[in-house]
A and B are shown apart, each in its own frame.
Chain A
Amino acid sequence: MFSQGVFRKTFADTGTSLVLSAIGLILFVVMFTWAMLHMGTEVLNFVSRVPFIQKIFEMSLGIKVSGDISINVLFAVCFTHGVVMLLIWSVMIATATRVTVGEMEKGTADMLLSLPLNRTEIFVSTSCVWGFAALVLAACPLVGIAVGRQIFITDEVVTLSRFVAPTINLGCLNLAVGSLACMIGTLLQRRSMAVGVVVGVTFVSVVLNFLEPFLESLKPWRFLSLLTYFKPVETVRDESWPVASMVTLLAMAFSFWLIGLIVFRRKDVPAV
């Protein structure tokens, strides 16, 4: 069920970009914590005075913005920050489409699939790599907050344990995005097309999540947005564990992955 050779090779191929992305993410979150520590309250006070901007913030964060938001809630914003999401999803999509559709497009799939490995082994081994990437990237915001807290010592109290639930929730979200990319990759013949489709789906997901509080007609469709199941600011504010959201994301991830596996096992690999 698992090929060490394929795992090691795929890991070596993606390792550098994963490490660089993780370092980039951590650095960004460290800077974000610095900014929040120094300017967060002022920004929120300003935002709460301008109704239009306040509305935009509420749409993005999913909570009512006011000047008395705690520092922990402010830090939780980094989990849904555009830069963080963009970086994480880019790495996830690139890694998850690399072997299936990427190798077919490059013509190296011939070499890989004519080895004495069954397709399940190849799929499982490569899935382990992007699954690992999903978890590493999910941990980056937490690590960034911890490093930021360590460097920029202030009077503010930042409780790291409050960020564990959003970290696990982000891991589940990353697995869902990775398995979606993996599934789409098995359904198409061109990697560029697969990446385009996954980017399209995630973009629609973001837009749906953003507009849904305003447009009543979108409410019945909110369950389709991946971000419906990832509300870190709410989670940190309420100190809750979004178990239902995590289970939903994991169920999605497993379904996408299973469909991808079934398709990949039966897929024709034509000559390039």
Chain B
Amino acid sequence: MSVIITANLCKRYGRQEVLHNLNLEIGSGQLVGFLGPNGAGKTTTIRILLGLLRATSGDAHVFGKSVERFGKQIRHEIGYLPGDVHFYSNMTGRATLDFLARCRRRDCRAEILRLADVLDLDLRKSVRKYSTGMRQKLGLIQALMHRPQLLILDEPTNGLDPLVRKSLFEELKSVIQDGRSVVFSSHSLNEVEQLCDQVIILRSGEIVEQQSIEVLKSKALRRVEFAFCEEQLQANSLLQANPLPSALQISSRSPGLIKGTWTGGMEALLSWLQPLQVTDLIVERPDLNDLFMTYYSRQRGLSD
């Protein structure tokens, strides 16, 4: 069953189109990474799903219900952490969470205490005295405390130290084990790679990719290095005989050695290399950073 579905979702501010025909589908029990450069439309999409923004056109459904018509019901089962979380500075952490729990009409006391313990947060302090990291922890507790079916976390690890980050990841993994879903937007690609089953990459208000990380990696740019036999290497004539495929971008060339990047499947690379006498071949597995840069550099290439 899909937790989130959007169909041709558009958002315009005057003439500026922030989202363009966004078609998104996220299944239940998944931990999905939401990636994209600044201004790609990640936060706008999240805010439409929460009813903070109204779509200019198109539909957005969460748990099979329209976000415009059933926003209140939907938000009962959503936990949301904004990218830049703000609280009422005159309240303590505990009072803030009690207020939010009261508005949700849920008894979250036990879960609040457990999460405060896991994330190591003193709830007796005034929010005014909290550091950025402590406010982030408070934001995470309020998002998790009512055990929502869908968690939407915008940059959840901002300001967290590595130990707390680890505890959070374990918490999120347990959320997934319960069959609940998490949408996780982050700039730390390592975190997304470490945690998420699926990645959605947005660019200029459009989805450029929605795949499992493994599938994406197989398609992604790899760093490659070929070494050739000295006597065979009359580099120019060799490469003239076998013209460079477009998937190969050479970054450096020296006698007997070519370094660069390869985009796409390995079969084409191997068939290109076959007539050449290669003495050494290094292909580095791409990480998510490479993957992201592949899409991002394409965008820049287009705009250039």
Q: Which residues of A contact B (CB under 8 A)?
A: 3-6, 8-9, 13, 106-108, 110-111, 113-118, 266, 268-272
Cβ of B69 to closest chain A Cβ, rounded Å: 11
Partner of A271 from the list B47, B76, B88 (CB cut-off 8 Å) is B47
Is B100 touching A115 in the complex (CB atoms < 8 A)? yes
Q: Which of B42-88 contact A (CB under 8 A)?
A: 43, 47, 50-54, 71-73, 75-76, 78, 80, 82-88
Report if B272 contacts A (CB, 8 A): no
Residues on A with beta carbons closer than 8 Å to the beta carbon of B85: 107, 110-111
Whole-angstrom CA separation of A268 from B88 in the bound complex: 21
Is A108 touching B87 in the complex (CB atoms < 8 A)? yes
Give 26 CB contacts A-B under 8 Å: A3-B103, A5-B103, A8-B102, A13-B88, A13-B90, A107-B82, A108-B86, A110-B85, A111-B82, A111-B100, A111-B142, A113-B50, A113-B51, A114-B52, A116-B76, A116-B103, A117-B75, A118-B72, A266-B54, A268-B53, A268-B54, A269-B47, A271-B43, A271-B47, A271-B83, A271-B84
* In the complex with contacts A4-B102, A111-B82, A269-B52, A116-B73 CB distance below 8 A: yes
Question: Max chain B CB contacts within 10 Å: which of A3, A116, A117, A268?
Answer: A116
Whole-angstrom CA separation of A55 from B99 in the bound complex: 55
11 additional A-B residue pairs with CB within 8 Å, beyond A110-B82, A115-B100: A8-B102, A9-B99, A108-B88, A110-B52, A114-B82, A115-B103, A116-B73, A116-B103, A117-B75, A117-B103, A269-B52
> What are the 4 A-B residue pairs with the smallest beta carbon separation, nearest first?
A107-B86, A5-B103, A5-B102, A116-B76
Is B72 touching A116 in the complex (CB atoms < 8 A)? yes
Number of A-B contacts (CB under 8 A): 72
Whole-angstrom CA separation of A85 from B52 in the bound complex: 37
Cβ of A1 to closest chain B Cβ, rounded Å: 12
Whole-angstrom CA separation of A9 from B91 in the bound complex: 10
Report if B104 contacts A (CB, 8 A): yes
Residues on B with beta carbons closer than 8 Å to the beta carbon of A270: 47, 53
Residues on B with beta carbons closer than 8 Å to the beta carbon of A113: 50-52
Is A114 touching B99 in the complex (CB atoms < 8 A)? no
Query: Which B residue's beta carbon lies closest to that of A9?
Result: B99
* In the complex with contacts A107-B86, A110-B86, A115-B43 CB distance below 8 A: no
Residues on B with beta carbons closer than 8 Å to the beta carbon of A8: 102
Whole-angstrom CA separation of A3 from B73 in the bound complex: 15
Whole-angstrom CA separation of A6 from B80 in the bound complex: 18
- Chain B, residues 8-47, CB within 8 Å of chain A (1/0): the string is 0000000000000000000000000000000000010001
Q: Which of B99-138 contact A (CB under 8 A)?
A: 99-100, 102-105
Question: Max chain A CB contacts within 10 Å: which of B78, B85, B102?
Answer: B102
Is B87 touching A111 in the complex (CB atoms < 8 A)? yes
Partner of B86 from the list A4, A9, A106, A114 (CB cut-off 8 Å) is A106
Residues on A with beta carbons closer than 8 Å to the beta carbon of B86: 106-108, 110-111, 272
Cβ of B16 to closest chain A Cβ, rounded Å: 13
Query: Which A residue's beta carbon lies closest to that of B50?
Result: A114
Residues on A with beta carbons closer than 8 Å to the beta carbon of B78: 114
Is A114 touching B54 in the complex (CB atoms < 8 A)? no
Is B84 touching A117 in the complex (CB atoms < 8 A)? no
Whole-angstrom CA separation of A52 from B105 in the bound complex: 64
Is A117 touching B99 in the complex (CB atoms < 8 A)? no
Question: Max chain B CB contacts within 10 Å: which of A3, A8, A270?
Answer: A270
Cβ of A121 to closest chain B Cβ, rounded Å: 8
Question: Max chain B CB contacts within 10 Å: which of A3, A9, A13?
Answer: A9
Query: Which B residue's beta carbon lies closest to that of A109?
Result: B52
Query: Which A residue's beta carbon lies closest to that of B54?
Result: A268
Cβ of B138 to closest chain A Cβ, rounded Å: 10
Is A116 touching B84 in the complex (CB atoms < 8 A)? no
* In the complex with contacts A3-B103, A268-B53, A117-B82 CB distance below 8 A: no
Cβ of A51 to closest chain B Cβ, rounded Å: 53
Cβ of B14 to closest chain A Cβ, rounded Å: 12
Cβ of B135 to closest chain A Cβ, rounded Å: 11
Cβ of B6 to closest chain A Cβ, rounded Å: 17
Cβ of A49 to closest chain B Cβ, rounded Å: 54
Query: Which B residue's beta carbon lies closest to that of A108?
Result: B86
Residues on A with beta carbons closer than 8 Å to the beta carbon of B88: 9, 13, 108
Whole-angstrom CA separation of A108 from B96 in the bound complex: 11
Query: Which B residue's beta carbon lies closest to that of A106?
Result: B86
* In the complex with contacts A13-B90, A111-B82, A111-B87, A116-B53 CB distance below 8 A: no
Cβ of A259 to closest chain B Cβ, rounded Å: 18
Question: Max chain B CB contacts within 10 Å: which of A4, A5, A107, A272?
Answer: A5
